[in-house]
Structure 1
Amino acid sequence: MSVRSEARPAVTRDGDRIAFMLLRTVFTVAPILFGLDKFVRVLTSDWERYLAPWMDDIIPGDATTAMAIVGVVEIAAGVLVAFLPRLGGLVVAAWLAGIIVSLVSVGGYLDIALRDFGLLVGALALSFLAAGRGYGWLRRRG
């Protein structure tokens, strides 16, 4: 009687690697592009409409300045995902939670909030996959 190895099949390891690379790519590129668009305004000319008034009140400057700050944070989050995907995935998930709160507070954007919730789950999946692969912050132990 032979003892089976606890190693995962190669197909599963390849699937994990592909899923990790897809998520890492999307969560690197998308935040950077969304962040850059806060300055060039190709995707929408009015990012400020998504900002809850109470959030605008606590962010320094006017709504346009707030969106510029948001853009810089989004670019930084994308770069963080590229280099430290476990930590970056958590940062992007937290950032998306803030966006969801803003969208629900503004009202009329529940469809976008729901889509962003799906992205939040994807960002968490990236972080978990990165932890399992030993990439980035707090590598898997054991």
Structure 2
Amino acid sequence: MATAPTPAQAKSGSLLAADPQRQAFLLLRTVFTIAPIIFGLDKFTNLLTHWTMYLAPVATTVVPIPAQTFMYIVGVVEIVAGIAVAVRPRFGSLLVAVWLLGIIVNLLVLGNFYDVALRDFGLLVAALALNRLSVSARR
């Protein structure tokens, strides 16, 4: 049976640290801050993978620029999205969710990498969960 918090616990914030909802918020906020920034930076170095192989050719037809230049723009957007999650998680989480939806559509149009599209769908749902948790979370 749960006991009522003491005034000292309430003031110290120990309840806040023990709150599963707060912990979930902090975990998701941390991941959706760090991961987009790392992936965004990697668009400039291609250390993790050669990112242009994930780009549907129609993207460079619609926006007539070289694929690597397109990836530089993608990298900047991802870095901005990660920073937005850190600073304004309620807005940033929606930005990440929309961005992931765009990636999923790109992968489906490419007609390959369905496994990555499915993974990104799971990340999209997690970004939406972060959005819902950010409504009640206090920074």
1:17 maps onto 2:22 in alignment: yes
Instruction: Structure 2: state its 5+ residue gaps.
Output: 1-14
Report the equivalent of 1:81. 85
If each structure's helix is expressed as a fraction of its own residues, which one has the higher value?
2
Report the equivalent of 2:7. none
Q: Which amino acid is 2:103 matched to?
A: I
Query: Does the Cα contact within 8 Å between 1:60 and 1:66 map onto a contact in 2?
Result: no
How many residue pairs are counted as aligned between the two chains?
A: 124
- The percentage of counterpart residues that share the same residue type is 57
Superposition map of 1:50-89 within 5 A: 50-89=54-93
- Worse-superposed segment, 13-22 or 69-78: 13-22
CA RMSD of aligned residues (A): 1.5
What is the CA distance between 1:52 and its match in structure 2? 1.1
Runs of at least 4 residues off by over 6 Å: none
Superposition map of 1:50-129 within 5 A: 50-129=54-133
Given the alignment, which residue of 46, 55, 69 partners 1:41? 46
Distance between the aligned counterparts of 2:74 and 2:64, measured in 1? 12
> What is the TM-score when the length of structure 1 is the normalising length?
0.83
What is the CA distance between 1:58 and its match in structure 2? 2.2
Distance between the aligned counterparts of 2:30 and 2:45, measured in 1? 22
Distance between the aligned counterparts of 1:53 and 1:81, measured in 2? 30
Report the equivalent of 2:6. none
What is the CA distance between 1:133 and its match in structure 2? 1.8
Instruction: Structure 1: state its 5+ residue gaps.
Output: 1-9, 136-142
What is the CA distance between 1:37 and its match in structure 2? 0.3
Report the equivalent of 2:31. 26
- Worse-superposed segment, 50-59 or 86-95: 50-59
Query: Does the Cα contact within 8 Å between 1:80 and 1:87 map onto a contact in 2?
Result: yes
Distance between the aligned counterparts of 1:56 and 1:20, measured in 2? 37
Q: Which amino acid is 2:42 matched to?
A: D
1:1-60 CA deviation, whole Å, 9 max, x = no partner? Answer: xxxxxxxxx69x70001000000000000000000000111101x211111111222235
Q: Which amino acid is 1:26 matched to?
A: V
